[in-house]
């Protein structure tokens, strides 16, 4: 798929199967201040590219990127989907923070919280990015990476009304070449896996870890 709008680059693809429409929804950004969604019946050809997030929709941001979308309902929001994304924020300590939004269908009617869901100061950092939603033990967490090259975990609760920083989730091992980032999670055959980026940015590789 190529963007119908002329941009310098596209990045951070995230695909979700939308059971209601029986389509794949592909979320991506390009430029760094605009996130778009496109849809596909076959998972190969994507059309109807539509901007859904930009810095003008989130106060005091100069970048809104690296978005991921998950099925998750929040009390009082009348939603089925939530979006987690990185926002470069001009207010308070730290710069790159985790923000969130919600939608009833994952396609349009998106609304975005004006304040960060997670700030890097709680981890002693200046920048955090690439959030992924996890649900365990009746509550919800967000995993993300920080500017120190480690992946961290924060409990946000099922209604995204908490910010309990739980510390380092994964620190680089010898084969990670000093940096781990962009965690994504899934299960296969009842086994949980984490897929992540390892090594220096722009010279990294994709790794996989298995829960034991």
Tell me: pLDDT of 161 over 80: yes
For residues 112 and 79, the answer to whether their CB atoms sit within 8 Å is no
Q: What is the pLDDT of residue 174?
A: 94
Banded model confidence at residue 212, pLDDT cuts 50, 70, 90: confident
Question: What average pLDDT is seen over the chain?
Answer: 95
In this predicted model, what pLDDT tens digit does every residue of 173-201 receive, in sequence order? 999 999 999 999 999 999 999 999 999 98
Q: CATH homologous superfamily for 11-183?
A: Glycosyl hydrolase domain; family 43 (2.115.10.20)
- Does this model's pTM top 0.85? My answer is yes
Token pair, residue 22, equals 């029986």
In this predicted model, what pLDDT tens digit does every residue of 113-124 receive, in sequence order? 999 999 999 999
Tell me which of 2-6, 132-136, 163-167 is least confident. 2-6
Cα separation, 206 vs 176, whole angstroms: 10
Sign of CA dihedral 148, 152, 155, 161: positive
Sign of CA dihedral 111, 44, 206, 212: positive
Q: What is the pLDDT of residue 5?
A: 60
Tell me: pLDDT of 72 over 80: yes
What residue ranges in the chain does DSSP mark as E strands?
Answer: 11-18, 23-29, 34-40, 47-54, 61-71, 81-89, 96-103, 111-112, 128-136, 139-146, 151-155, 164-170, 180-188, 191-198, 205-210
Helix or strand (DSSP H, E) at 79: none
Tell me: pLDDT of 139 over 70: yes
Sign of CA dihedral 100, 103, 107, 111: negative
């Amino acid at each position: 798929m190529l963007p119908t709008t002329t941009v310098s680059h596209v990045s951070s693809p995230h695909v979700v199967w939308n059971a209601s429409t029986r389509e794949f929804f592909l979320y991506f950004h390009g430029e760094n201040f605009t996130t778009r969604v496109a849809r596909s019946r076959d998972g190969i050809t994507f059309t109807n590219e539509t901007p859904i997030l930009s810095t003008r929709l989130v106060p005091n941001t100069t970048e809104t990127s690296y978005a991921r979308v998950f099925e998750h309902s929040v009390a009082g929001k009348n939603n089925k989907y939530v979006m987690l994304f990185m926002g470069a924020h001009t207010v308070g300590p730290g710069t790159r923070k985790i923000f969130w939004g919600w939608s009833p269908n994952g396609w349009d009617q998106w609304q975005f919280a004006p304040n960060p869901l997670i700030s890097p100061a709680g981890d002693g950092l200046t920048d955090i990015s690439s959030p992924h939603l996890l649900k365990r033990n009746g509550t919800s967490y967000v995993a993300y990476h920080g500017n120190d090259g480690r992946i961290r975990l924060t409990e946000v609760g099922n209604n995204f009304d908490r910010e309990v920083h739980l510390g380092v989730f994964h620190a680089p091992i010898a084969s990670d070449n000093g940096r781990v980032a962009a965690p994504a999670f899934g299960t296969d055959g009842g086994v949980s896996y984490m897929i992540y980026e390892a090594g220096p940015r722009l010279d990294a590789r994709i790794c996989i870890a298995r829960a034991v």
